[in-house]
Amino acid sequence: MSEFLTYFNIGLHHVLDINAYDHILFLIALVTPYAFKDWKQVFILVSLFTVGHTLALMLSVFGVVYIKPGLVEFLIPITILITALFHLFTAGKSGKQESIAFVALVTAFFGIIHGLGFSNYFKTILPGSASDKLVPLLEFAVGIEAAQILIVVAVLILSYVVQTFFRFSKRDWSLVMSAFVVGVVLPMIINSEIWNR
């Protein structure tokens, strides 16, 4: 049980680490257009991220895939920007059912990219043989999922409060939050090490 808690906590803190806020930004960008009544769609999207993240970690840890860390660090804010811009330009428009496939694809892609970005650190904390790596990876994935659900619930509560008590329309809330995410993520892209090569 203590080993489960170790990797669960690593997953939990990986998402909730305020110094590595890219994950939180992505979840804000992802969930902004949704409300509590959309919980099934939100849960599917969050789980898609976890599946993509875990798959990428597995492929990397087992030596199947390798991508340069600098490229991964550049692609992470790009996926956040794409998600935020998509919701910025589709705020208040109908056709959410059609757009969920696009958002799901970007979510899974972000999970894969983010998993590759975390793989180098994860390799250093995993035990030796390949057979010993699978269970810690799954325990870590459970921690990631739990942390994401906490953030998503917090964003949905904030959305409810702002729209109910401060009379923001759903469209205005989506515009403001998407624009906020774009404003935070653009400097991450501009200051990326990839431009200095």
Indicate if the pLDDT at residue 146 is higher than 80. yes
Q: How far is the C-alpha of 179 from the C-alpha of 114, rounded, in Å?
A: 22
Q: How far is the C-alpha of 159 from the C-alpha of 153, rounded, in Å?
A: 10
Tokens describing residue 53:
């993240």
Q: How far is the C-alpha of 41 from the C-alpha of 49, rounded, in Å?
A: 13
* % the chain with pLDDT above 90: 46
Q: Are 103 and 45 in contact (CB under 8 A)?
A: yes
**pLDDT tens digits, residue range 51-65?**
999 999 888 888 888
Which one has a higher pLDDT value, 20 or 8? 8
In the predicted model, what is the mean pLDDT of residues 25-45?
91
Q: How far is the C-alpha of 116 from the C-alpha of 73, rounded, in Å?
A: 9
The predicted pLDDT at position 4 comes to: 83
Q: So where are the chain's domains?
A: 2-196
**pLDDT tens digits, residue range 152-172?**
999 999 999 999 999 999 999
Q: Are 29 and 49 in contact (CB under 8 A)?
A: no
